[in-house]
Chains A and B, each alone.
Chain A
Amino acid sequence: GESVGLHLPTLSVQEGDNSIINCAYSNSASDYFIWYKQESGKGPQFIIDIRSNMDKRQGQRVTVLLNKTVKHLSLQIAATQPGDSAVYFCAENGPTSYGKLTFGQGTILTVHP
């Protein structure tokens, strides 16, 4: 079936470094992608989204890159801070999914002071 997955389950970085979290998706028809951050004891929090007619989108300290050729999505966090430590999920939505998201397994980001 369709799936969204991550290359790396864990990522450790030093405070101030840039972080890159990767996601591979298998459904070539997917046309909408979202990154979520989940802190311990909380629900997923929306970070940034991107539609398939774009290959890059920037937010505050975050950038999402979409490579449709290889079905790959990445989240870049600039100047990573300890408060960025969390689990990060990518999710995708296909054109016939009517708002239903398919989530990846998640990457644990740990930021060391």
Chain B
Amino acid sequence: DADVTQTPRNRITKTGKRIMLECSQTKGHDRMYWYRQDPGLGLRLIYYSFDVKDINKGEISDGYSVSRQAQAKFSLSLESAIPNQTALYFCATSDSQGGLRQPQHFGDGTRLSIL
């Protein structure tokens, strides 16, 4: 979905480095999410934010942090990367208008490799 842009698309880095993945959206949605995808597993929620002042942990938040700089921007940081954080990372957005039951829309992901 071109309305949800993730940068970088690919990144290779070393153990112990700090990494930031960025997500921006032009959909005007208030809710944003970060997921991780590993081979053979579905997407797992890392963090989510329902508005600029709201940050919540997902099911696998350890080792990650986030920042919601604006309604349209949500970044994910790995403070000290480790090899088992090698994965595909996806950002998603959804709209609170119409209630809680709204689909999420995803970016095309960042492929992160930690050596």
Residues 64-107 (chain A) with a chain B CB within 8 angstroms: 89, 91, 93, 98-106
B22 interface residue (CB < 8 Å to A): no
B68 interface residue (CB < 8 Å to A): no
Chain A nearest CB from B61 CB (Å) reads 12
Q: How far is the CA of A105 from the CA of B41 in the complex (A)?
A: 5
Interface residues on A, range: 20 to 34
Q: Which of A12-20, A39-47, A55-63 contacts B (4 or more CB under 8 A)?
A: A39-47
How many A-B pairs have beta carbons closer than 8 Å: the answer is 62
* B42–A103 CB distance below 8 A: yes
* A104–B42 CB distance below 8 A: yes
* A46–B108 CB distance below 8 A: no
* A100–B42 CB distance below 8 A: no
* A42–B102 CB distance below 8 A: no
* A99–B42 CB distance below 8 A: no
Contact mask A26-37 → B, CB, 8 Å, 1/0?
Answer: 000001101010
* B90–A51 CB distance below 8 A: no
* A34–B1 CB distance below 8 A: no
Interfacial chain A residues near B48, Cβ < 8 Å = 99-100
* B40–A43 CB distance below 8 A: no
* A32–B1 CB distance below 8 A: no
Q: Which residues of A contact B (CB under 8 A)?
A: 4, 31-32, 34, 36, 41-46, 49, 51, 89, 91, 93, 98-106
A36-B106, A99-B48, A104-B42 known; 9 new pairs, CB 8 Å cut-off, are A34-B103, A42-B109, A43-B4, A44-B43, A44-B90, A49-B101, A89-B42, A99-B31, A100-B45
